[in-house]
């Protein structure tokens, strides 16, 4: 028929046009075609929001940045103790206020320029002066100086035993080349010292190419393509098909099936993350310690953990996981409905109490956990209204203090200060629940400067005990890190801090 032909032509034309439209943004290799011969295709669940390491706080961004930038020190893959990276060695003055780092020689940035102490000074001062996302980690740093190109000196206001963890726990404290913020658009471009260069990033994937002059030796693979696949079913199918070679998008309920599978190599390890719930001290009756303790008594953590994570987590009434040196074995609460009800009665609190519990669907496991908690609190007279929000709204309301209770997790905690300080010290930058206890403040402050490890642990144990008894946070569990890859892939280490590092990977 006459009109159909022009339609068909137009349609075909549009198809070709659309192809042109879509083709511009993907420059090389990657772009979805299977990754090329020696390129690792990794299926990740979300797109990075931007690539400025000092500004972003999004885990998807750090998945990429881990391979592009370096810090002075990094956590060891096995036990997370801090080891040399861009800094080869360091010395502390006797009074603990001066740290002198000797930098590695022969390191170059992706653009070929040489790395030296001026870059470190620039990077740290940028974070401090511009008050960027991680400036709180430099709170004790009075000055950063570079007496010579190979040396950086940090002068502190007080002894800081965990300084290494503060400056090296993750890539938020990356070393940028001098004046990087003026020379580059750091949100979309990168110039680092890491094993891979940022090649391109678009709506489907982010592509990295190997940096031959990497100070740790050129990577065995030619590049990495981080492909965004939000749907776990799709990610796992892609892995089984060989379309992708690595993924962290593994739902916990699949773990037992996958560990038996021959098509897929599954790995899991306990992590340093923890999930918790907290109630708002600014809203009655949640400022009443008896109410908080009643809630802590009514909740059966084992059940919550089992429901949310299946086997892939360990219930915990404190924050620090079992395999850490700083683990404190303290579990004062027994799940006991009767006792919980008793606590409420004694306190003279009238039920029913309504509690809005804010969770985000960014983490489906928390929605499940919230529902279990709701059913556990109902018998004691607390009606929980689960509020599922998108992450942006969730963060906003948390910031505003507009909540009764919220549930989330903290990732990447290396040092005990990471686990406890900012969340529970009065006016801490992460103390959204509004907890204040002078004793805890004193203990945390003291522990921050205590150099002796055992003494330090003792202090944190004491602080933790009070925090747990007061139920500033109601700790739930430490999830495992679960990742999967194709059989035969070697050189990849799964890490408890969830950092993803592909520098030594070899494809089968």
Partner 1 sequence: MVLAGVSVLVFSLIHLVKGDPVRLALGTRYSQEAYDALRARNGLDLPLVEQYVTWAGRALTGDLGVSFRSGEPVTALIGERLGATLTLAIAAILLALLIAIPLGTISALRPRSAVDRIATVISQIGISVPDFWLAIVLILVFSGTLGWLPTGGYVPITEDPVEWARRLVLPAIAVGVVSGSVITRFVRSSVLEALGSDHVRTAQAKGLPARQVFSWHVLRNALLPLVTVTGVQLAYLLSGVVVVEIVFSWPGLGQLALQAVQARDYPVLQGAVLLFAVIFLLINLLVDLLYTRIDPRIRR
Partner 2 sequence: MTAEPLPVEPVPSRPARPRWRETLVLLARNPTALAAAVVLLAIVVVAVFDQTFAPYPANEQDIGNRLRPPSWEHPFGTDNLGRDILSRVIIGASVSLKVGFLSVGLALVAGTLIGLLAGFYGRWVDDTLMRLMDMLFAFPAVLLAIAILAIRGPGTTNTIIAIAIVYVPIFARVTRASVLGVREEVYVRASRSVGASDFRLLTRHVLPNAAPPIIVQTSVSLAFAVLAEAALSFLGLGTQPPNPSWGSMLAEGREFIEQAWWLAFFPGIAIVVTVLCFNLLGDGLRDVLDPRQRTLMAGGGR
Structure tokens at 309: 């994570």
**Cβ proximity to partner 1, 29 vs 168, nearer residue:** 29
Q: Work out how close the CB of 63 gets to partner 1 at its nearest, in angstroms, rounded to a whole number.
A: 16
**Cβ proximity to partner 1, 188 vs 354, nearer residue:** 188
Dist. CA 433–CA 289, nearest whole Å? 13
Asked if residues 407 and 398 have their Cβ atoms less than 8 Å apart, the reply is no
- Of partner 2, partner 1, none, which one does residue 134 interact with (CB within 5 to 8 Å by kind)? partner 1
Angle at 494 between CA 267 and CA 415, to 5 degrees: 130
**Cβ proximity to partner 2, 216 vs 251, nearer residue:** 251
**Cβ proximity to partner 2, 123 vs 254, nearer residue:** 254
- Of partner 2, partner 1, none, which one does residue 361 interact with (CB within 5 to 8 Å by kind)? partner 2
- Dihedral, 257, 262, 265, 266 alpha carbons, nearest 10: 10
Q: Does 367 bind partner 2 (CB under 8 A)?
A: yes
Dist. CA 426–CA 157, nearest whole Å? 20
Q: Which residues contact 440 (CB under 8 A, 6 or more apart)?
A: 424, 425, 463, 466, 467, 470, 472
Q: Work out how close the CB of 479 gets to partner 2 at its nearest, in angstroms, rounded to a whole number.
A: 16
152: left (phi over 0), alpha (psi -120 to 50) or beta: beta
For residue 285, say if its preceding peptide bond is cis, omega within 30 degrees of 0: yes
- Among the listed residues 254, 271, 297, 433, the single contact to partner 2 using CB under 8 A: 254
Q: Work out how close the CB of 49 gets to partner 1 at its nearest, in angstroms, rounded to a whole number.
A: 6
Q: Does 158 bind partner 2 (CB under 8 A)?
A: no
> 423: number of CA atoms within 13 Å, CB side?
26
- Of partner 2, partner 1, none, which one does residue 50 interact with (CB within 5 to 8 Å by kind)? partner 1
**Cβ proximity to partner 2, 270 vs 368, nearer residue:** 368
Asked if residues 215 and 110 have their Cβ atoms less than 8 Å apart, the reply is no
Q: Does 216 bind partner 2 (CB under 8 A)?
A: no
Dist. CA 431–CA 508, nearest whole Å? 47
Q: Does 375 bind partner 2 (CB under 8 A)?
A: yes
- Of partner 1, partner 2, none, which one does residue 183 interact with (CB within 5 to 8 Å by kind)? none
**Cβ proximity to partner 2, 344 vs 370, nearer residue:** 370
- Among the listed residues 92, 100, 351, 371, the single contact to partner 2 using CB under 8 A: 371
Q: Work out how close the CB of 35 gets to partner 1 at its nearest, in angstroms, rounded to a whole number.
A: 11
* Contacting positions for partner 1 (CB under 8 A): 1, 3, 11, 14-26, 31-34, 49-50, 55-58, 130-136, 185, 187-188, 202-205, 227-231, 233-235, 237-238, 240-241, 243, 390-393, 395-396, 399, 429-430
Strand partners, 221: none
- Of partner 1, partner 2, none, which one does residue 147 interact with (CB within 5 to 8 Å by kind)? none
- Among the listed residues 189, 390, 396, 402, the single contact to partner 2 using CB under 8 A: 390
- Could you give phi then psi for residue 478, rounded to 5 degrees? -105, 115
Q: Work out how close the CB of 156 gets to partner 2 at its nearest, in angstroms, rounded to a whole number.
A: 45
What are the distances in angstroms from CA 485 to CA 78, 143, 480, 503?
19, 44, 16, 15
- Of partner 2, partner 1, none, which one does residue 217 interact with (CB within 5 to 8 Å by kind)? none
* Host H or E run for residue 465: helix 453-470
- Among the listed residues 148, 263, 361, 452, the single contact to partner 2 using CB under 8 A: 361
Which residues in 285-324 contact partner 2 (CB under 8 A)?
A: 303, 306-307
Q: Work out how close the CB of 61 gets to partner 1 at its nearest, in angstroms, rounded to a whole number.
A: 10
DSSP for 266-322?
EEEEE-S-EEEEEE-TTSTTTT-HHHHHHHHHH--HHHHHHHHHTTSEEE-SSSS-T
**Cβ proximity to partner 2, 38 vs 368, nearer residue:** 368
SS (H, E, C) 372-410: HHHHHHHHHCEEEEEEEECHHHHHHHHHHCCCCEEEEEE
SS3 state at 37:
coil
- Among the listed residues 370, 425, 443, 484, the single contact to partner 2 using CB under 8 A: 370
Which residues in 18-57 contact partner 2 (CB under 8 A)?
A: none
Asked if residues 214 and 192 have their Cβ atoms less than 8 Å apart, the reply is no
- Of partner 2, partner 1, none, which one does residue 31 interact with (CB within 5 to 8 Å by kind)? partner 1
Task: Choose the binding region for partner 2 from 189-197, 385-393, 429-437, 482-490 (rule: CB under 8 A).
Answer: 385-393
- Of partner 2, partner 1, none, which one does residue 374 interact with (CB within 5 to 8 Å by kind)? partner 2
- Could you give phi then psi for residue 82, rounded to 5 degrees? -75, 135
**Cβ proximity to partner 2, 308 vs 444, nearer residue:** 308
- Of partner 1, partner 2, none, which one does residue 202 interact with (CB within 5 to 8 Å by kind)? partner 1
211 closest CA partner among 199, 227, 194, 225:
194
94: left (phi over 0), alpha (psi -120 to 50) or beta: alpha
Positions touching partner 2 (CB under 8 A) are: 232-233, 251, 253-254, 257, 303, 306-307, 361, 364, 367-368, 370-372, 374-375, 385-390, 393
């Amino acid at each position: 028929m006459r009109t159909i032909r022009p339609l068909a032509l137009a349609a075909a034309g549009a198809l070709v046009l659309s192809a042109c439209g879509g083709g511009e943004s993907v420059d090389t290799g990657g772009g979805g075609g299977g990754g090329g011969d020696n390129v690792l295709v990794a299926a990740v669940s979300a797109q990075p929001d931007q690539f400025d390491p000092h500004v972003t706080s999004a885990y998807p961004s750090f998945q990429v940045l881990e391979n592009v930038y370096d810090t002075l020190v990094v956590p060891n893959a096995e036990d997370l103790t801090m080891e040399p990276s861009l800094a080869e060695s360091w010395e502390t003055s006797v009074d603990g206020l001066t740290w002198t780092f000797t930098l590695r020689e022969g390191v170059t940035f992706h653009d070929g320029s040489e790395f030296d102490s001026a870059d470190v000074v620039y990077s740290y001062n940028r974070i401090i002066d511009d008050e960027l996302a991680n400036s709180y980690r430099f709170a004790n740093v009075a000055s950063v100086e570079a007496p010579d190109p190979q040396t950086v000196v940090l002068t502190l206001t007080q002894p800081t035993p965990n300084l290494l963890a503060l400056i090296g726990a993750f890539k938020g404290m990356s070393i940028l080349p001098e004046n990087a913020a003026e020379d580059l658009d750091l949100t979309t471009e990168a110039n680092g010292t890491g094993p891979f260069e940022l090649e391109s990033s678009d709506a489907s994937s982010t592509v990295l190419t190997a940096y031959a002059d990497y100070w740790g030796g050129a990577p065995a693979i030619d590049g990495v393509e981080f492909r965004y696949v939000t749907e776990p079913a799709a990610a796992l199918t892609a892995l089984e098909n060989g379309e992708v070679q690595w993924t962290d998008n593994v739902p916990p309920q699949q773990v037992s099936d996958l560990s038996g599978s021959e098509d897929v190599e599954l790995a899991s390890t306990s992590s340093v993350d923890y999930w918790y719930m907290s109630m708002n001290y600014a809203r009655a009756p949640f400022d009443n310690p008896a109410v908080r303790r009643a809630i802590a008594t009514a909740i059966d953590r084992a059940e919550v953990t089992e429901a949310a994570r299946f086997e892939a987590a360990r219930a915990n009434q404190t924050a620090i996981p079992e395999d850490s040196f700083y683990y404190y074995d303290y579990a004062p609460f027994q799940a006991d409905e009767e006792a919980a009800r008793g606590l409420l009665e004694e306190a003279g609190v009238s039920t029913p109490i309504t509690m809005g519990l804010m969770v985000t669907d960014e983490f489906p496991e928390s929605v499940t956990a919230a529902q279990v908690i709701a059913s556990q609190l109902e018998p004691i007279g607390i009606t929980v209204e689960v509020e599922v929000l998108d992450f942006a709204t969730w963060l906003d309301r948390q910031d505003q203090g507009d909540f009764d209770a919220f549930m989330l997790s903290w990732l990447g905690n290396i040092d005990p200060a990471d686990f406890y300080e900012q969340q529970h010290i009065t006016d801490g930058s992460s103390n959204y629940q509004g907890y204040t206890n002078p004793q805890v403040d004193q203990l945390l402050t003291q522990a921050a400067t205590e150099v002796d490890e055992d003494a330090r642990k003792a202090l944190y144990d004491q602080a933790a005990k009070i925090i747990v008894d007061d139920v500033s946070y109601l700790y739930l569990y430490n999830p495992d890190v679960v990742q999967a890859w194709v059989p035969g892939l070697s050189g990849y280490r799964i890490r408890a801090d969830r950092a993803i590092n592909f520098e030594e990977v070899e494809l089968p």
